[in-house]
Every structure is written in C-alpha cells, then in structure tokens.
Amino acid sequence: MNLLEIPPELQAFLGASFWHFAIVFLRVGAMAAVLPAFGEQYVPMQIKVAIAVAFTFVVAPALSRFPEPETPLHFASLAASEAVIGLALGMSVRLFIMGLQIAGTIAAQTTSLSQVLGNIGADSLPAIGGVLLISGLALAVMMGLHVRVAEFLIYSYQIFPVGEYPEPGVFSEWGVNRFAKTFYMAFTLAAPFLIMSVIYNLTLGVINRAMPQLMVVFIGAPVITFGGLFILMVASPMILDVWMRELMTFFSNPGGRLQ
C-alpha cells in the first residue's frame, strides 16, 4: 500500500469531522467578531480568526456530531442561520460593554467631562466612559470571560439548534429584553453621578437666588468637575462590581425569556 494513501475509514472520519468543525466555526466566527475584548475594533482580523478557530476547537468536541450537508444549498442555508445566531449571541454579550459606555456618557454629561479624551472605543468616548470601558474589559478577562463564552456557545446549541432559524417572535422578544436590561443597567451604574448632579444644581440654584451678584458659574464648574472625578474614584469599584455581577448572571441564564 502507498504510504501516502489514507484508508477509507480514516477518510470518512476526517470528512465528517471537517464538516462538524466547519459548522461550529460558522457560529463561533460570527460571535467572535463582536465579542467584548476579543472582537474590538483595534484587534487585527488575523487575531480574530485565530480566536474563532481556538474557540471552535474547544466547543466542537463537546457537541454531538452534526450531519454532513447534503447539497451546497443546504450548506448555504446553514451558513446563513448560524451567522445570524452567532451575531445575536455576540451582540447579547456586547450589550454589556455598550451599557458601560452609556453609563459613562450619562455620568460625563452630568459632570461637565463629556468632551475630554476619547477614541478608546469604536466611537469617541468621554473620559469617564473610557475609564469604565477599559476597566470593565480588563475585569471581565481576569474573571474568565473566555471560559464563560465557551460555556455560552455550548449551551447555545440547546436553545438554537443547528439548521433551525429562530422563531422571529421569541427571538425579537429576547432581543428587546436584552436592550431594555442594558439601558436599565446603564442608568443604575450612572446613578451616583446623577444624584450628585441633582444635589449640586439645586444647591447652586439656591446660592444664585441668595447671592445674585456672585458668578456661580466660575465657582460651580470646577466643583462639579472635581466632584465627578471624586465619585469616579470612590464609586468605580462598586460600579464595576455591579456590572460584573450582571454579566455573570447573564452567563448563568443566557436564555432569559427563551426558556
């Protein structure tokens, strides 16, 4: 027998394994493109592909063998459905980063720090948003984001089976629920800055009525800026702790209303 000849049994096994890994890669690749930390804009495309391949080799052995596509049209249908599901899964995690960005923007608008720094994310961010974004990404990676993502991908095949398009009504309800929770979380994280801003503006209004000749703007602007930085220093550990708990709660029950 020729040394380069591959036995038919091994050829069949390799062929089946190839299609199994290829189908998993369709979902993993789409999800990895928008994942926090791994799918950021400043991460090179080659690194994103390598990350998707690594996740594929972790997730694929934990799943039952998928049947080989019968026709090219069948594979195209699989590619479309898996890409849609992968993007939805990745965006559901990406929303937590967007929540941090929204919270930072709200905090910056209330503390006169909305135009400092920027260019940390895909769009220009205020200083507080940039600090919270980088801190949240670092904390998530330290707490095992890659492990949680791998578990999430394996679990996703239970709620979104291969080859089946999600039911539009349930799928849209799940997405709306995720967006609603994101804005709720963002407002909650920015609450210390909002409360301080309300108290500060009420106090400034009382002082202005009591002493009309005093230029409260020259006194108030530095005070609100210092107050925002002070609250960021004191409250950021609590803010990131609340955010991290919400992220881990999502990974423990990602199905939400789908179940």
Q: Please state the separation of Cα 147 from the chain's center in Å.
A: 15
Q: Which pLDDT band holds residue 8 (cuts at 50, 70, 90)?
A: low
Per mean pLDDT, which range of 63-77, 81-95, 119-133, 217-231 is the poorest? 119-133
Per-residue model confidence (pLDDT) at position 19? 80
Burial 68-101 (b: 16+ CB within 10 A, else e): ebeeeeebeebbebbbbbbbbbbbbbbbbbbbbb
Q: Please state the separation of Cα 39 from the chain's center in Å.
A: 9
Three-state secondary-structure class, residue 246:
helix
| pTM of model > 0.75 | yes
pLDDT digits (tens, 9 = 90+) for 153-212: 999 888 888 877 778 887 788 888 888 999 999 999 999 988 888 888 888 778 777 777
Residue in the structure block whose two tokens are 């991460």: 43
**For residue 59, how many other CB atoms are within 10 A of its CB?**
22
pLDDT over 80 (residue 215): no
pLDDT digits (tens, 9 = 90+) for 58-104: 998 888 887 777 788 888 888 888 888 999 999 999 999 999 988 98
